[in-house]
Amino acid sequence: MKIRKAKLTDVPNIHRLVNHYAGERIMLPRTLTDIYENVWEFTVVAEEDGRLVGCGALKLYNQEVAEIRSLCVDESLKSKGVGREIMEELLDEAEAFGLKTVFALTVVPTFFEKLGFHQVPRERFPTKVWRDCLRCERYTCCDEKAVTMEIVDRPPKLEKSAAEAAEVSS
């Protein structure tokens, strides 16, 4: 599996992955136009045998805060570490930018908590609420939880075995 920066040619597959989960009401839908306009946010995509199998985006809000968005993995590879690999790359990028805080709104907070995030009130991120949540059809019945991590508190990465490292870099 290869983890890399998204390209314009990845947009249709990113759209397919994200909207698959939107159809299951796990994440919000995104239009092709929105993904094309914001493809640079997609720090990483996971590719296996030439097929896009996961993606994740880092939405910058200011010089200190960013949101992890559209983090998803092909259903056939769930629980195989792909989401963790994508998340590590997103956190590396946040750290390289000098960000202090990353957050996400999610219906699966346990995934994020295993990586060192903790739950906080959604109102801690008013720009996100004002920009996206107030326009969302689920605003009054939202089941997403806000999770956050201070980059300085980021847990050390788990060391991979040599076999895992070879698999990710191949």
Query: What is the 3-class SS of the chain, one letter each residue?
Result: CEEECCCHHHHHHHHHHHHHHHHCCCCCCCCHHHHHHCHHHCCEEEEECCEEEEEEEEEECCCCEEEEEEEEECHHHCCCCHHHHHHHHHHHHHHHHCCCEEEEEECCHHHHHHCCCEEECHHHCHHHHHHCHHHCCCHHHCCCEEEEEEHHHCCCCCCCCHHHHHHHHC
- Looking at residue 99, what is its pLDDT? 96
Q: Where does 2-156 sit in CATH, by number? A: 3.40.630.30
- Looking at residue 44, what is its pLDDT? 65
- Looking at residue 32, what is its pLDDT? 93
Question: Does this model's pTM top 0.85?
Answer: no
pLDDT along the chain (170 residues), means of 10: 87 92 83 90 73 90 92 79 89 94 89 92 70 58 81 74 42
